[in-house]
Amino acid sequence: MDKIGFIGLGIMGKPMSKNLIKAGYDLIVFDLVEDAVKEVAECGAKAAGSIAEVAQASDVIVTMLPNSPHVQEVVLGENGVLQNAKPGTIIVDMSSISPVVSKEITAACAEKGVTMLDAPVSGGEPKAKEGTLAIMVGGDEATFEKVEKMLLCMGATAVLVGGPGSGNVTKLANQIIVATNIAGMSEAMVLAKKSGVDPERVFNAIRAGLAGSTVLEMKMPLVLAGNFNPGFRIELHIKDLQNALDASEAVDGETPLSAVIIKMMQELNEEGCGKNDHCGLIKYYEEKTGVECRKSE
């Protein structure tokens, strides 16, 4: 069985790596946070002291990092993956980054005989823990087939959507839909509360209808409980929406909803709510109207 390297053991990477261990894969892991490395090592992985050590020991390297500059540094930087990986190595970048940057890194990898897939995920921490993420993949079909089984240890689905960068285009599309869903839910529930109607009853009344969605089912119970612990942080959704705006501008697209919602999120971030779950977007509406949509006692 291939030796798997895993770089990036944050909110998402940690449970994803643990699911690979549970599936029987031989893992070597690295993160700047030593406690995260120790925790995953206690589950059966080998702890690496550097990116170079991971690259030298691995046939497949999974990266799960915050944004484009982090992936560029880890893969292309001094003592990074490319400097140390052997020809034939496969990099599976599961970070959510700019499609333009993803294409650039893929091209740089190809020059060194290394193949890269961009394979961002959706589902947040709960689905990362369950191993039921939705994984959207861009890159070469033959390479995808080599790692598909591994990906399905972390996700319920892994779909090849096109060539290099297309996985991240798909993720941006996903993040636009999620953001607009959360904004619509928030706007609707605050309207209900302001009008004297219990948001919990509204939720139960509409969830089986056309307004029902995975976002509504996962996020409205958290809002009602006042639980804004992050499954996916507002500050990261800001990053994704900015990447969406940049990608749209690059192709002369139109993303007016994203432009409005990112401003809401940025305002909350400035108020110190950036590490809240993105369902905390409802606080923007609550602050403007002076009501809270919480479960009735």
Residues with catalytic annotation? 171
Rounded CA-CA distance 45/193 in Å is 49
Tokens (6 digits) for 248: 């749209």
Identity of the residue numbered 65: L
Cα 97 to Cα 263: distance, rounded to the nearest angstrom: 20
**SS3 of 154, please?**
coil
Taking the CB of residue 229, how many other CB atoms lie within 10 A of it? 11
Q: 248, 255 in Cβ contact below 8 A?
A: yes
Which residue do the tokens 């990116």 mark? 51
Residues 171, 176, 181, 187, CA torsion sign: positive
Residue 118's contacts (CB-CB under 8 Å, 6 or more residues apart) are 93, 97, 99, 102, 106, 137, 138, 139, 164, 165, 166, 167, 168
The structure tokens listed for 138 are 């861009």
